[in-house]
Chains A and B, each alone.
Chain A
Amino acid sequence: MSSAPGPPREPPRYLSRAEAEAMEKELLEDYRFGRQQLIEIWGHACAVAVTKAFPLPSLPRRQPTLLVACGPAQNGAIGLVCARHLRSFGYEPTIFYPKRSPEPLHRDFTTQCEKMDIPFLSYLPTEVQLIDDAYNAVVDAVLGAEGSEGPEPCAAILGTLRLLRIPIVSLDVPSGWAPGPASGDISPAVLVSLAAPQEVTRRFQGRRHFLAGRFVPEELQRKFGIGPRHYPGSDCVVAL
């Protein structure tokens, strides 16, 4: 927590999904960021946000365990990187990654986690009490901005997430959230928006909302009307 009052917190501008995709495209094509570089930056920032939302000394369980649920696409890859950084920060993540992407990049992220001695569950228990008892929180890196429930086993994971009592941290967009009326949505306690919050997360009502957009060049922030925004010190995330 910063000790001095910072500049007044402006409400964030929300990007539509098309704008978010356009921004990512510009980062990759015009700014020549590498995709692996971006995923690393995002995953690291998400891990930092998790530590701010759930500092080690504040965890209710004796062990600092976290469950990281990773989907098959980019959001899942960000989850893998996030898990790895959480491990190096002293947490004990366990990954559930049932539908693995065949992409070499994602396979490398998986290997890096395995080699950090992070366990991978072979299935997620449907008995929700087991998860509530074993972990302090769940990191939702299942679907992100992809919206609808997605193929199995994502739908089943979401079914379980809906019933959890322990807090959920969603990366970018809470899995399953789609434009239109909210129905059967999961209710994360914490949201970590990546470059900018997406429109569909406007209805987020959890207790903490972080933005992990420090790496976005100022010119690009201005172009999309999302900044520049003040980040404390050398932090890569800011609480909104």
Chain B
Amino acid sequence: MPGPRALLGLGLLAAAAAARAGGRCPERGWSWGRGWNRSWGRERGWNRSRGWERGRCLPRRAMHGPSAGPGPAGLRFLGQEEAQAIDQELFTEYKFSVDQLMELAGLSCATAIAKAYPPSSFTTSQPAVLVVCGPGNNGGDGLVCARHLKMFGYQPTVYYPKRSSKPLFEGLTTQCKKMDIPFLPEFPTEAAFIDELYGLVVDAIFGFSFTGAVREPFGSILSTLERVTVPIASIDIPSGWDVEKGKADGLQPDMLISLTAPKKAAMHFTGRYHFLGGRFVPPALQEKYALNLPAYPGTDCVLQLT
């Protein structure tokens, strides 16, 4: 019969789990994960009345400066460098792979689209969606999104003019093709053709790493998209926008799906739907950058911000 100490160990295990729900305090520098690789039941030496209960230690908001934007109180809008730093940390420290996060990001985008533009809402005879994929990771998110849209009952078509030769992207392209998702050989020359054929356009051209001038063919593509009247859903950043300052005369999407956390450009977004997606940010990383993300509902991988 195990002594009370072993049972206490279990009780403490439960308490620690409760405390952990509050997130890890960066100031204390404790790491619960490693600490628990000890003998079961050995007394931990801490008690319930310390700050490990539910509730977190206050993050030092001052260190991140005034970058709160519209949306739920305290939700931060990231600068480009911060967004890149968080991304890097997810891969180097947290050991996520691009494959994993891209799959979750693309699923978020498709789920947000399904919420805002259900197939029954399309006026075209089929719920046809044009997914325009750029040359980098934003394009990869678009490929994953297209595949999930197909599974959700949409009829996606992809335009992917500058294809990455990396195995991940070739794999994602093959997955789409084997699911009978057509890839257009050319981009429709007139906005009116797009309006005619599709009920929605997904802009997966440029993401948060975008900087500098827009290279062809994407300049022409964006000009056409700017004249399209069907709704546009942009993944992470409306393509062509400065990641922090936006672009007043650029693309005006109806929906924005911010991944991980919204970027400063999102403060200039005036469309109807702003969703948050990419539900994979570990609590410790959220705390470190004081993201102040609101809680996602249930098991949903998206959260509607506006």
A residues with CB within 8 A of B: 30-34, 36-37, 40-41, 44, 47-48, 51, 61-63, 65, 88-90, 92, 94, 107-108, 111-123, 125, 127, 130, 133-134, 214-215, 217-219, 231, 233-234
- Chain A residue numbers with a CB within 8 Å of B18 are 63, 92
Q: Which residue of A lies closest to B17 (CB)?
A: A92
Task: Determine the chain B residues whose CB is within 8 A of the CB of A116 once the complex forms.
Answer: 33, 282-284
State the Cβ distance, B240 to closest chain A Cβ, in Å.
Answer: 29
Q: Which chain B residues numbered 18 to 48 have a C-beta less than 8 Å away from chain A?
A: 18, 20-21, 23-24, 31-34, 36-41
**Besides A65-B13, A234-B115, 16 other CB < 8 A contacts?**
A34-B167, A36-B99, A37-B99, A37-B171, A115-B282, A116-B283, A117-B23, A117-B32, A119-B16, A119-B17, A119-B32, A122-B36, A122-B39, A125-B2, A219-B178, A231-B151
- Count of B interface residues, CB-CB < 8 Å: 57
Contact among B99, B114, B175 with A233 in the assembled complex (CB-CB below 8 Å): B114
| B95 contacts A108, C-beta separation under 8 Å | yes
Which one of B17, B110, B284 lies within 8 Å of A63 (CB-CB)? B17
Q: Are the CB atoms of A40 and B299 closer together than 8 Å?
A: no
In the complex, B100 has a CB within 8 A of chain A: yes
A130 to B23: give the CA distance in the assembly, Å.
26
A-B pairs, top 9 by smallest CB distance, nearest first, are: A119-B36, A92-B17, A32-B174, A32-B171, A114-B33, A111-B95, A108-B95, A134-B10, A40-B100
If A34-B171, A117-B283, A123-B40 touch, does A112 touch B96 (CB 8 Å cutoff)?
yes
- Report chain A residues within 8 Å CB of B114: 233-234
The smallest beta-carbon distance between A8 and chain B, in angstroms, is 19
A33-B171 CB under 8 A given contacts A89-B298, A115-B33: yes
Chain B residues whose C-beta falls within 8 Å of the C-beta of A47 in the assembled complex: 299
For residue B237, CB closer than 8 A to chain A, the reply is no
- Is residue B184 contacting chain A, with contact meaning CB distance below 8 A? no
Q: Specify the chain A residue showing the minimal Cβ separation from B97.
A: A36
Complex contact A218–B179 (CB within 8 A): yes
With a CB–CB cut-off of 8 A, which chain A residues contact B151?
214-215, 231
Distance to closest chain B CB from A212 (angstroms)? 13
Q: Which residues of B contact A89 (CB under 8 A)?
A: 298-299
Distance to closest chain A CB from B288 (angstroms): 11
B32 to A40, Cβ gap below 8 A? no
Q: Across the interface, which residues of A come within 8 angstroms of B280, CB to CB?
A: 88
Q: Which residues of A contact B263 (CB under 8 A)?
A: none
- The answer to whether A217 and B178 touch across the interface, beta carbons within 8 angstroms, is yes
* B33, chain A: closest CB distance, angstroms: 4
Measured CB to CB, the closest approach of chain A to B232, in angstroms, equals 20
Interchain CA distance A234-B297 in the complex, whole Å: 15
Known A-B contacts A115-B282, A115-B284, A117-B32; A41 and B180 likewise in contact (beta carbons under 8 Å): no
A-B contact pairs, 20 of them (CB 8 A): A31-B174, A32-B172, A34-B99, A41-B103, A47-B299, A94-B13, A108-B95, A108-B96, A115-B94, A116-B284, A117-B23, A119-B36, A120-B37, A121-B36, A125-B2, A125-B6, A130-B10, A215-B151, A219-B179, A234-B110
